Every structure is written in C-alpha cells, then in structure tokens.
C-alpha cells in the first residue's frame, strides 16, 4: 500500500535533536500530570516546584540557552559588601568563579578579597555607587579590561527604606527607586550590550517576595521589587533571542543589615548562607524565577489567588499591623 506523503515527511534537523537541557529532560520524564493520581502529581510538583521548564531552555534554532560556568569568564555582583551579595560572592568564589564585587563601602569589599585568597576562585573589588550611570558603565569596562568578559551579572544592590502611609513624603520613594530600579538598570544596560555582542550571557536581578503584594511599611521597597519583576519579564523576550538567560531572584526574609530595619514579624527567616546556597543552586539550574523558602513562598503565591479583601485581612493578621495606632503627623515644612 502506498505510503502517504505525510508519513515520509522529513523533520528539520533541529526538531530531531534530543533535548539537550537537563531541565527539559527532567520534565519529559515526569508522568503526565493528567494521568497521575492527584497526590502523586502534587508530590512531583513539590519535589521540583521551581525548576519546571519554561521556554527559556531552548532558543533560536534549537540551541541551548547559555548558562555561565567559571571557565567562560567573570561573575559581577553588585551590593557585595554585606549580606546576601557578600555571601553569594564568597560562595561562587569557592566554586571556582572569578568574582568582581561592587558596592560603596571599600573596607567591607577589601575584607572579602582577603577572605577569598585561599579559595578556588578569587574576588576582586570594583567600588562604585550603582546610582551613578556613567560610573557603572566605567566599572563594566574596567572589569572586562582587567579580568575578562562578564558572563554572569547579579544585580543585587538594594536598599529598604521604610515608608508609612501616615507620614507620607517622597524622599524614601525617590531614593528607593534610584538604588533598586535605576541602580539595576545602570548595570544591566552596559552588560546586556556586551553580552549581545558576544552572543551569550546570564543576568540575574534581585527582587523579593514583597513584590507579590503591597506590605506594611514597604510601599517604596515592595513597589521597586515589583517593578524589577515586571521589567525583567518584559525584557526576557528579547534577551533570550540574544542567548542571554534572564533570571529573577525573589527570596523570602533573610537576616542581613537590611532586615534589621523592618518593624514587622518576618516568618521563615533564613541566614545569608542558606540564602546564598539557594541562589547559587538556582543560578546553576537556570529556571526563570529563583524563589525560596517554599514554606513561605507557596502560601504567599496561593494567597495571591484570593480577592483583595481576603489578602488585606490575612496580611494584617500576619504582620500584626492592624493593631498599630496611626502615627503622629509629620511636621510640615
Ligand atoms: N534581606 C532580605 O530579607 C531580603 C529579601 C529579599 C530581597 N533582598 C534583596 O537582597 C539584596 C541585598 O540585600 P541584603 O539583605 O543583603 O542587604 P544589605 O546587607 O544591606 O546589602 C545591600 C548591599 O547593597 C549595597 N548598596 C546599597 N546601596 C548601594 C549603592 N547606592 N551603590 C552600590 N551599592 C549599594 C550595599 O553596599 P554599600 O552600602 O557598601 O554600598 C550592600 O552591599 C537587596 O536588593 C535586597 O532588596 C533582601
């Protein structure tokens, strides 16, 4: 019997290639959720909830989207003088990366350089204020000239400046946007430009779970993190076409100098070492969103599905904010 034309159709080479990304392989080997008992499906999702593959894994004509490794070049981390950035710089240096560390406090930066001396990789410092646009471009040029190409950039520098609805003023909003949003963009623009020219790169931007909803005292901070989440989602469509892997990091609460300023209860608080280990693992895995700890993130993501009155009620109870009196009026200038 003559075979139909369709049965002889030759697939393009790229379609015949086996999936090369481990994330994709993992997905395909999971039992389809529709034919799995509900408890097993829930278990599968729980085991690998955040590395379900997305279209990030394959770009262009079936090539694998770039993922950094120490042999290819340098990691640049902003906000590396204290807290999460510092711990991540040390963690990646232990894994063999050469790290370029940026922040303003030169003393703190000097001390991580000394700590890295015995490590497999090394940390070099490039002090700069992230709000200085030309300074940041000059920093990128200096890093690439002295150390080599930046293959992974982690835009971590950030500040939490509390604001209250009963003492409204613009100062802390302006400063928060300058550091968190424009500070990120001042680094991202020159780095993405160079990665585009080279044809590969990996970029990670530091968000926060406070991006998920407005939270008490975090109207400035949380809205900058929501802006970063939205901004990177929008840019990711084009970055991927240029073989630049984009990732957002949305951690829960981590004990650092930044959280010392918060005046509400912080559930599931992590240490900087726990946080930096999870971030490093997420950068290696390559999924779009790196968010943890699950015991905080899952309930928060679930809460987002509810109508706003329920969300406000739960957040008021969780933070105890409804019990606080309205503060004194600020003195008018
Ligand atoms: N801690 C948490 O619970 C938590 C949770 C989610 C997300 N995050 C985010 O994680 C990032 C790191 O925060 P952290 O908790 O580790 O706080 P941190 O210890 O206060 O670190 C903030 C870092 O940003 C740097 N920085 C601030 N302003 C800067 C500027 N204008 N120019 C250059 N560097 C600047 C600081 O260095 P210098 O002061 O020396 O410049 C410091 O290295 C932030 O983006 C934060 O929003 C933190």
- Measured from the Cα of 160, ligand 1's closest atom is 47
Ligand 1, atom 41, lies closest to the CA of 104
Chain centroid to Cα 172, Å, comes to 23
Q: Cβ distance 95 to 70 under 8 Å? A: yes
Q: Is the preceding omega at residue 320 within 30 degrees of 0, hence cis?
A: no
Ligand 1 pocket (Cβ < 6 Å) reads 78-85, 103-105, 108, 129-131, 156-159, 179, 183, 206, 208, 251, 253-254, 256-259
Q: Cα(174) to centroid of ligand 1, in Å?
A: 16
Q: Cα(13) to centroid of ligand 1, in Å?
A: 46
User: Among residues 289, 326, 282, which one has the least CA distance to residue 164?
Assistant: 326
H runs (alpha helix) in the chain: 13-16, 22-29, 38-47, 83-94, 106-115, 133-146, 171-176, 183-198, 219-241, 272-285, 294-303, 308-319
Whole-number Cα distances in Å, 109 to 88, 89, 210, 272, 275: 13, 11, 28, 17, 20
Q: Can you list the domains of the chain with their CATH numbers?
A: 53-294 (3.40.50.720)
- Measured from the Cα of 86, ligand 1's closest atom is 43
For 69, other C-beta atoms within 10 Å of its C-beta total 14
Q: Cα(156) to centroid of ligand 1, in Å?
A: 6
Three-state SS for 131? coil
pLDDT at 332: 59
Rounded CA separation 183/178 (Å): 6
pLDDT at 254: 95
pLDDT at 29: 38
pLDDT at 326: 85
Rounded CA separation 252/250 (Å): 7
- Measured from the Cα of 179, ligand 1's closest atom is 31
Three-state SS for 246? strand
Rounded to 5 degrees, φ, ψ at 53 are -70, 150
Rounded CA separation 64/191 (Å): 21
pLDDT at 40: 59
User: 8 CB contacts (<8 Å, ≥6 apart)?
Assistant: none
Please list the ranges in the chain whose pLDDT falls under 70: 1-63, 263-264, 330-333
pLDDT at 278: 98
CA angle 255, 112, 203 (to 5 degrees): 70
pLDDT at 179: 98
pLDDT at 64: 85
Q: Cα(326) to centroid of ligand 1, in Å?
A: 29
């Amino acid at each position: 019997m003559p075979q139909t034309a369709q049965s002889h159709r030759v697939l393009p080479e790229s379609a015949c290639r086996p999936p090369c990304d481990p994330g994709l392989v993992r997905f395909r080997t999971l039992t389809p959720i529709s034919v799995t008992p509900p408890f097993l499906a829930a278990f599968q999702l729980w085991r690998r909830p955040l590395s379900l593959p997305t279209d990030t894994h394959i770009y262009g004509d079936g090539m694998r989207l770039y993922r950094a490794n120490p042999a290819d070049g340098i990691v640049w981390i902003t906000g590396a003088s204290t807290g999460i950035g510092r711990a991540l710089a040390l963690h990646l240096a232990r894994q063999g990366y050469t790290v370029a560390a940026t922040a303003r406090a030169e003393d703190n930066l000097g001390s991580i350089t000394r700590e890295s001396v015995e490590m497999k990789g090394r940390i070099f410092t490039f002090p700069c204020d992230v709000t200085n646009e030309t300074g940041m471009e000059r920093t990128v040029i200096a890093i690439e000239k002295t150390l080599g190409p930046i293959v992974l950039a982690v835009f971590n520098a950030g500040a939490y400046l509390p604001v209250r609805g009963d003492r409204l003023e613009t100062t802390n909003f302006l400063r928060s946007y300058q550091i968190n949003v424009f500070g990120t963009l001042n680094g991202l623009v020159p780095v993405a430009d160079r990665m585009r020219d080279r044809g590969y790169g990996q970029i990670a931007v530091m968000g926060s779970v406070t991006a998920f909803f407005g939270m008490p005292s975090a109207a400035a901070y949380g809205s900058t993190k929501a802006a970063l989440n939205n901004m990177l989602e929008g840019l990711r469509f084009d970055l991927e076409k240029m073989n630049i892997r984009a990732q957002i990091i949305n951690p829960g609460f981590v004990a650092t100098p930044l959280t010392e300023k918060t005046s509400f209860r912080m559930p599931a608080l992590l240490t900087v070492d726990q946080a930096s280990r999870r971030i490093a693992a997420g950068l290696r895995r390559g999924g779009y969103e790196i968010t943890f700890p699950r015991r905080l993130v899952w309930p928060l993501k679930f809460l987002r599905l509810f109508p706003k009155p329920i969300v406000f009620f739960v957040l008021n109870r969780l933070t105890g904010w409804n019990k606080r009196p309205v503060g004194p009026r600020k003195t008018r200038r």
